[in-house]
Chains A and B, each alone.
Chain A
Amino acid sequence: MIQLIAFYLFAGLVVLSGCVTILSRNPVHSVLWLILAFFNAAGLMVLLGAEFIAMLLVIVYVGAVAVLFLFVVMMLDIDFATLRAGFIRNFPLGMLIALVLLGELVLGIGAERAGAIHLGTPDGNNAAVAGASNITAIGALLYSRYLFLFEAAGIILLVAMVGAIVLTHRQRGDTRGQNIPRQIARRPEDATVNRSPAVGEGVVL
């Protein structure tokens, strides 16, 4: 009963906030509704017993990706009239993408109805970690059976990160960087002098 209520609550809110994300006029509101959708999707994951994925969803998408979205959207000065102008022209393309997504959903549900998919080794022996907690199970699979794929994904991400840094980094000659060791090594005596001049004499700097 509680699970059912929770499921319909989370699922309904995901669909609702997904719709409002698209329909909302203000892009900042859109991002916030998107965050609500992520959050409720995490709730659905918890109901499925995939608490690790749920927490990752919140940490990665809500905690990092959506913050960057929000940053970008807040900084942009968006003119809504120009955005809406292309609506009719792009409508067929949008419908095409929607149809492709719908087809994939139907295909996925059909395949699921046809029987469970046995991932892992060719003999279907993928139940080695049953009964362990979520994190232990994922860790055991990632670092044993899928080690190569996992490391390959890591290398691809590393290359992408290095590439992004190389593309955006530019050397500018006119900036003066902080020399932190010099700042730390600086003592009061280096910058100030304490003199007590006689009356009427003054100080030569």
Chain B
Amino acid sequence: MTPFFQHLGMPFEAAWLLATICGILLIAVPVMVGVAMIIYADRKIWAAMALRRGPNVVGPWGLLQSFADGLKVFLQETIVPSAANKALFLIAPIITFTVALMAWAVIPFNSGAILANINVGLLYVLAISSLGVYGTIIAGWSSNSKYPFFSAMRASAQMISYEVSIGFILICVVLWAGTFNLNGIVMAQKDHVWIINGFVANPLLFPMWVMFLISGMAETGRAPFDLTEAESELVAGYQTEYSSMSFALYWLGEYANVLLMCALNATLFFGGYLPPLDWAPLYWIPGWIWLLGKILFFFFIFSWVKATVPRYRYDQLMRLGWKVFLPVSLGFVVVISGYLMATGHFEHTL
């Protein structure tokens, strides 16, 4: 977008600044509206699976329910517990929310439509998602209350455990794509198996995708791994003491993280903005529509799992992370790099 503003007669730096701000708004505003709509979709899917109707009062088919909820929490009073550490208590939801939006900077929405086309895109995503745990820990500690603190301990142990296996899964993808740049990873999936775009069609990477999907659920704290806010044990977990907008920020940040995880699934394994098949007429549909469709598909899987699978026990969660996913993903790193070495995949890269 920078050349466009330069074309209007601006100096490079002003054009760059304006282009970046426009890019941020172009990503953040649709993501926020998307989060509002996805909360509605989540409730509708969940209701349909429980043979209920779900939200159906505000607006046509209840479409405006999320906005009504948003208005409601906006008008509520922000309550800060008197024993809480006030500054940290108020900063924590802001951290969660900001971090949830930051990682979107490197997601390619179309060929060339990417805010920050950096070499280390995937590492950036990992770095940002490792920051997400701070919002939870700080909330749990600063609330100065028992249940939030338990929840914060659980959340951080859970997130750190699953980040390890996610790291190994991403290494497999990077080995095959030969780059950390997310645009490069998408392009590497073109015609990956015959005419199918996407690493998921590859028999060696398909198990990695299954593990990535499950780890993603654990990483975002979605059911069946929602032990951080298990209402039967911990009231509302680390959000117990929060009210009004600070609570809403957690709510929005959580769903923005889920959407991001869906976008990562789409980008890393399902060819991102590429159509599913490498067939010319499919390219007439713009890339961002394909990406959006894939994100919605994965979000449906997330909702489906939430509606059907009972919650894990905490020791089972830890066992799955450390004793199943970690060794299996480590084994796959060895197998995949061995396969790529044997077939001469790295010849052209160095």
Closest chain B residue, CB of each to CB of A29: B88
- Nearest CB of B to A9, in Å: 14
Decide if A59 touches B126 in the complex (CB within 8 Å): yes
Residues of B within 8 A of A67 (CB): 133-134, 137, 156, 160
Residue contact B131 to A135, C-beta cutoff 8 Å? no
- A63 near B13 with CB under 8 A, answer no
User: Is residue B130 within 8 Å, beta carbon to beta carbon, of the partner chain?
Assistant: yes
Task: Mark out the residues of chain A between 160 and 198 whose CB falls within 8 Å of any chain B CB in the assembled complex.
Answer: 178, 180
Of A52, A54, A62, A136, the contact of B130 (CB 8 Å cutoff): A62
User: What string of 1s and 0s marks CB contacts (under 8 Å) between B329-350 and chain A?
Assistant: 0000000000000000000011
Given contacts A52-B120, A133-B119, contact A63 B16 (CB under 8 A): no
A25: shortest Cβ distance to chain B, in Å? 12
A28–B350 Cα gap in the complex (Å)?
Answer: 46
Interface of A is mostly: helix
Enumerate chain B residues within 8 angstroms of A63, measured Cβ to Cβ.
126-127, 130-131, 133, 163
Which residues of B have CB within 8 Å of A55? 120, 123-124, 126-127
24 contacts between A and B (CB under 8 A): A2-B13, A2-B17, A26-B85, A28-B88, A35-B134, A51-B118, A51-B120, A52-B119, A55-B126, A56-B123, A59-B127, A62-B130, A63-B130, A63-B131, A63-B133, A63-B163, A64-B160, A67-B137, A70-B137, A71-B137, A71-B153, A74-B141, A134-B119, A134-B120
Besides the known contacts A59-B123, A59-B126, 17 further A-B residue pairs in the complex with CB atoms under 8 A apart: A1-B13, A2-B13, A28-B88, A32-B138, A51-B118, A52-B120, A55-B120, A63-B127, A64-B130, A67-B137, A67-B160, A70-B134, A74-B137, A135-B119, A136-B350, A178-B315, A180-B319
A residues at B contact (CB < 8 Å) = 1-2, 26, 28-29, 32, 35, 51-52, 54-56, 58-59, 62-64, 67, 70-71, 74, 133-136, 140, 178, 180
- Give me the 6 closest cross-chain CB pairs, A-B, nearest first: A63-B130, A55-B123, A58-B127, A133-B119, A59-B127, A55-B120
